[in-house]
Structure 1
Amino acid sequence: MDPESVAAALLDAYATKEPIAPLPDMPIEDAYAIQRHQVQAWVAGGAVIAGHKVGLTSAAMQRQLGVDQPDYGHLMDSMFHTDAAPISAARFLQPRIEPEIAFVLKRPLRGPGVTAAQAVAAVDFVLPALEIIDSRIADWKITLSGTIADNASSGGVVLGTRPTALDGLDLRLAGCLLHRNGRLEQTGAAGAVLGSPLNALIWLADKLGETGTTLEAGHVILPGSITAAIPVEPGDVVTATIAGLGTVTADFLKGPAS
């Protein structure tokens, strides 16, 4: 399988809003190569890498895909949306949404060998966040390599507007309520994310460090979902409330993109 041709097919799916057929299993290295080809194309077109996301951080999702570690994807500047501002659902193919605690870095962080103290020292503040996950692969029929190739099923990010320092926070115990259209859909605690979202940040810094990549100051890091993802449709309003951090809202417009 040629990584460039698969990357081209995935890029075409963004443009046409038509998902591609499920990808066959492939070596993880090939899947990340396909992801990198897409990122290079976006950067060549003027986009900027604004951070990274970590996926498959819950034990349930790892069991579902038969893996024993997370994966990662790239967050581009074009993926970010303003808290509570209208978002065109037509931007996405088959979106789902999940609540997370976003890290914003104040200094570079590079592994391998990152300690918890180094990770904490690199964090400027945290924000409540909603990640819009999406799949360019038909019917979400994905394997581990398939989701990696598809940029870890990245779609969009909504960040809350109240920054909170890590001082005094125990992220493991941060509870979350996820509402859609005023109805409670999911509950959870951030300890579901590899025991603590901080562990996901450390994992990411170490994993990227193996390739010579540094997490840069100002980057946003999404460590993984606190609850199960829920599907969203045009007209839905989704709000996550995370204890100690506040709320964040995604408001999906009805109708076509403007």
Structure 2
Amino acid sequence: MTAGAKGSAWDVESVAAELLACEDERRDRVKFTDEWPELDVATGYQIQDLTLAKRLERGEQLIGVKLGLTSRAKQRRMGVDTPFVAWLTDAMILPAGDPVPQDKLIHPRIEPEIVFVMGERLEGPGVTGAQAMAAVKSVHAGAEVIDSRYKDFKFTAGDVIADNASSGAFVTAGLGVPPSQVDLALEAVLVEVGGQVVDSATGAAVQGHPGEALALAANDLATRGHAIEAGWIVLTGGMTDAVFAPPGSSVACHFTSLGSVQIYGGAEGEGGS
């Protein structure tokens, strides 16, 4: 693809390469739309898919998808009007009990997530929330350690989609439960930082019900020729605002019936296993 605005050095290939370089070198930068205003949602997804291809070329395995900004409150705060879908690879798994990989991330933040493991393939378009939930094998408590390659987490929709929706790492807790055993709209979470409760929400914060977020992901992926495969992990989106996870911090997400996830901030230069 050719460069965007006249005089811009950026195109799909160069932005993808720069984002992966920022991730590998643990450095942030100003958003690309400051220099390439034509970086819109569609172009952002082209970049995202190219970065996935580059990840797979270097040995990572595709294991699922994640949704970003599924909370309408967070959409308003970030100045965007729709959730985003992005890719999960095995390199993003944070084993339970491991600290935040400070040596790999730039400015990590943690947010609680309701996580699905898929039992059946789910392909749009036209998938409803009920159809999406029927394809789910199990539901888990989880947390995503989001990161951004942009300074101060400032970006447009095109920028953040290109950046794989601020992917970093994620952790899931314990054994999952069948979706029929939990009311996901009412499933609540308390977020603790250093033992103090700082935020709370229910699953209704995620598009009214996490199953609606799953359906949205399937339908969005269908427009790009993809489906959600059996066995994949799906992070349905942050239920609350993300909290910072600096070295020495301790963040816990306590769910009503799904269990708890606790993540230690680790020390500077400390990574996971």
Same fold (TM over 0.5): yes
Amino acid at match of 1:13: C
2: CA distance, partners of 1:246 / 1:52: 22
Provide, for residues 89-121 of structure 1, a one-character-per-residue CA deviation record: whole Å limited to 9, x for no partner. Answer: 221001111001000001111100113332122
1:42 match: secondary structure: helix
2: CA distance, partners of 1:16 / 1:213: 30
1:127 has 2:140 as partner: yes
CA contact (8 A) 2:26 2:106 kept: yes
Give the one of 260, 265, 273 matched to 1:247: 260
What are the within-5 Å matches in structure 2 for residues 89-100 of structure 1?
89-100=102-113
CA contact (8 A) 1:55 1:72 kept: yes
1:235 match: secondary structure: coil
Give the one of 23, 28, 32 matched to 2:32: 23
- 1:66–1:86 distance in 2 versus 1, CA, 3 Å: closer
2:206 corresponds to which residue?
A: 193
What are the within-5 Å matches in structure 2 for residues 1-258 of structure 1?
1=4, 2-24=11-33, 25=37, 26-257=39-270
2: CA distance, partners of 1:41 / 1:257: 26
Deviation at 1:5, TM superposition (A): 0.4
CA contact (8 A) 1:48 1:76 kept: yes
2: CA distance, partners of 1:136 / 1:233: 16
- 1:29–1:199 distance in 2 versus 1, CA, 3 Å: same
CA contact (8 A) 1:191 1:197 kept: yes
Residue identity (%): 37
Deviation at 1:74, TM superposition (A): 0.6
Query: Unpaired segments of 5 or more residues in structure 2?
Result: 5-10
Deviation at 1:86, TM superposition (A): 2.8
2:176 match: secondary structure: coil
Deviation at 1:224, TM superposition (A): 0.9
1:6 match: secondary structure: helix
CA contact (8 A) 1:162 1:246 kept: no
Provide, for residues 15-62 of structure 1, a one-character-per-residue CA deviation record: whole Å limited to 9, x for no partner. Answer: 211112222142211111111111110000010111111111111122
1: CA distance, partners of 2:183 / 2:234: 18
1:160 match: secondary structure: strand
CA contact (8 A) 1:97 1:133 kept: yes
CA contact (8 A) 1:9 1:20 kept: no
- 1:207–1:178 distance in 2 versus 1, CA, 3 Å: same
- 1:60–1:87 distance in 2 versus 1, CA, 3 Å: closer
The number of residues matched between the two structures is 258
1: CA distance, partners of 2:234 / 2:190: 21
Provide, for residues 190-227 of structure 1, a one-character-per-residue CA deviation record: whole Å limited to 9, x for no partner. Answer: 10111011100000001101222111111110111111
2: CA distance, partners of 1:68 / 1:114: 21
Provide, for residues 100-146 of structure 1, a one-character-per-residue CA deviation record: whole Å limited to 9, x for no partner. Answer: 10000011111001133321221010110010110011121111111
Query: Unpaired segments of 5 or more residues in structure 1?
Result: none
2: CA distance, partners of 1:83 / 1:251: 10
What root-mean-square deviation, in Å, do the aligned CA atoms of Structure 1 and Structure 2 show? 1.3
1:78 match: secondary structure: helix
1: CA distance, partners of 2:30 / 2:48: 17
